[in-house]
Structure 1
Amino acid sequence: MKIALALHTTTAELGITIAEIEPIRLNVSDLQLDHLDNSESRAQIYNRSETALTKPIDRAWHLGRDLSHQIHTCLAEVMAELSWQDLVFIAIASGKGSFTSTRIGVVLARTLGQQLDLPVFAIDCDAISAYCRNFEPPRSDSQGLLELAFEQWQQGRSPNWAEALPIYGGSPV
C-alpha cells in the first residue's frame, strides 16, 4: 500500500488527511511494450499520472494552543494501522496563519521528509482555500491540501524537504 499524508496546522484546528495512492489499471497489451514478460503483473505497470487517491481518511481536532503537545498523538492515531514506509509524499499548509502553529507543522513535515527521504509539498493557505471552495459541500482544508499536492506529484514534481518553508504573512521582526 502507498499512502499520502497532509498536515494542516495553520489554525486552531489541526487537520490530518491520508489517502491511498492506487494505479489506474492498464492493459499491458495496450502499451505495446515488447520487452515485458507476459507474466508480469499488469497492476504494476503505471506511472504517476495514471494514479488516483482513494479511501481518504480526514480527521480534525480543535487544539488551539495545545497543538505542540497533541500533534504527535493525533498523527500517531491516524497512522496507527499504517507503516511509515508506505508514505509516498507529505503535504503541509505553509501559511499564512498562526506563526507558531505554522512553524510547528512545517518543522514536523520537514523532519518526516528528511528522515523518511520523502518529498514535502508546501502549499499556501490561499491556494488551499480557493481550491476547497470549488466543491459543494466544500472540502476540508487538509483534504484540499492533499489533493493539490497529489496533482503536483502526478505531474512529476518531487520537492526536497528543505524547500518546504513557512509563509508568515509579514516580517517577523
Structure 2
Amino acid sequence: MTNTAKKYGLAIHTTSPELGLAISNFTENTRSQTWNLGRDLSTHLHQRIQEFMPPQIWQDLSFIAVAKGPGSFTGTRIGVVTARTLAQQLNIPLFAISTLATIAWSYKHKSQHLCLQMTAQREQLFTAIYQVEEMGINHLLEDTLINPAAWKKILENWETSYQLIQVENSLGKSVVSLLELAHLEWEKGNRPHWSEALPFYGQHPVER
C-alpha cells in the first residue's frame, strides 16, 4: 500500500556526460542540480545523490524517475541500475522515461509536432516524433534507431507541420522535465514496479 504521507519525487538523468538530479514535492519545494562528470559518472553518482538529498530523506520519496535512453550506453545502464536498486530498497514506483521525451516536454509551449533527432554511432540517428499535451506526451513515432536517409524520407512525408529538434550531448538539465513527466503519470494513478524499468540502448555502441 502506498504511504500517502510521502510527498517527493526524485529524478536521475545519466544518459549523457552531464548528471542531472531533481527533487520536488510539486507544490512549493523543487530543487535540481547538474554536474559534468563525463567518464567519472560511475565513480561519483552515488556520492552526488547522497549529497543532493538533504534536507529530504529517503523515506520522503513517493517515487523515482530515471531517463532510460537513448544516450550513452554506460551512463544509461548505470542510471537505470541505480534507480532500480533504490526503488527496490524503498519499495516505491520507478518511472523509466525516454530521454527524447524529456527533451520534447521542455518544448511544451509548442503546438507543433516535435521531431527529435540525436546522433548515434555508426552514422545512425536516434529519432522520435511527439505531440505535447496538457497531461503528458503523445508518441506519434516511437524512439527508433534509423539511418539518416530513412529519417529524411519520414520527415518529407510527414503531413503535419513540425519543429525539428537536434538533441545535444549535454542532457542533464532536462532532469526537471523528466521529473514533471513522471509526476503526470503518478497523478494518473500509474505505479510501475521497479522491475519494469528497462534501458533503451537501440544499439550496442563502443563508448566515445
Which of 45, 51, 54 is residue 77 of structure 1 equivalent to? 51
Give the whole-Å Cα distance in 2 for the aligned partners of 1:96 and 1:108.
Answer: 17
Which of 165, 177, 184 is residue 151 of structure 1 equivalent to? 184
Question: Partner residue of 2:9?
Answer: 4
Between Structure 1 and Structure 2, which shows a larger proportion of helix residues? 1
Give matches, 1:45-84, under 5 Å.
52-84=26-58
What amino acid sits opposite 1:153 in the alignment? W
Give the whole-Å Cα distance in 2 for the aligned partners of 1:156 and 1:15.
Answer: 26
Give the 3-state SS of the residue equivalent to 2:71 in structure 1: coil
Give the whole-Å Cα distance in 1 for the aligned partners of 2:24 and 2:69.
Answer: 22
Q: Displacement, 1:172? A: 6.5
**TM-score for both structures, normalised by structure 1:** 0.76
What amino acid sits opposite 2:24 in the alignment? A
8 A contact 1:12–1:63 mirrored in 2: yes
- The percent identity for this pair of structures is 49
Give the 3-state SS of the residue equivalent to 1:68 in structure 2: helix
* Pair 1:89-2:63 in alignment: yes
Give the 3-state SS of the residue equivalent to 1:166 in structure 2: coil
What amino acid sits opposite 1:103 in the alignment? R
**TM-score for both structures, normalised by structure 2:** 0.64
Q: Displacement, 1:135? A: 5.2
What amino acid sits opposite 1:57 in the alignment? R
Task: Tell me the matched-pair count.
Answer: 140
Between Structure 1 and Structure 2, which shows a larger proportion of strand residues? 2
Q: Displacement, 1:53? A: 4.2
Q: Displacement, 1:77? A: 1.1
Q: Which runs of 4+ in 1 moved over 3 A?
A: none
Give the whole-Å Cα distance in 2 for the aligned partners of 1:16 and 1:135.
Answer: 23
In structure 2, runs of 5+ residues without a counterpart are 1-5, 111-171
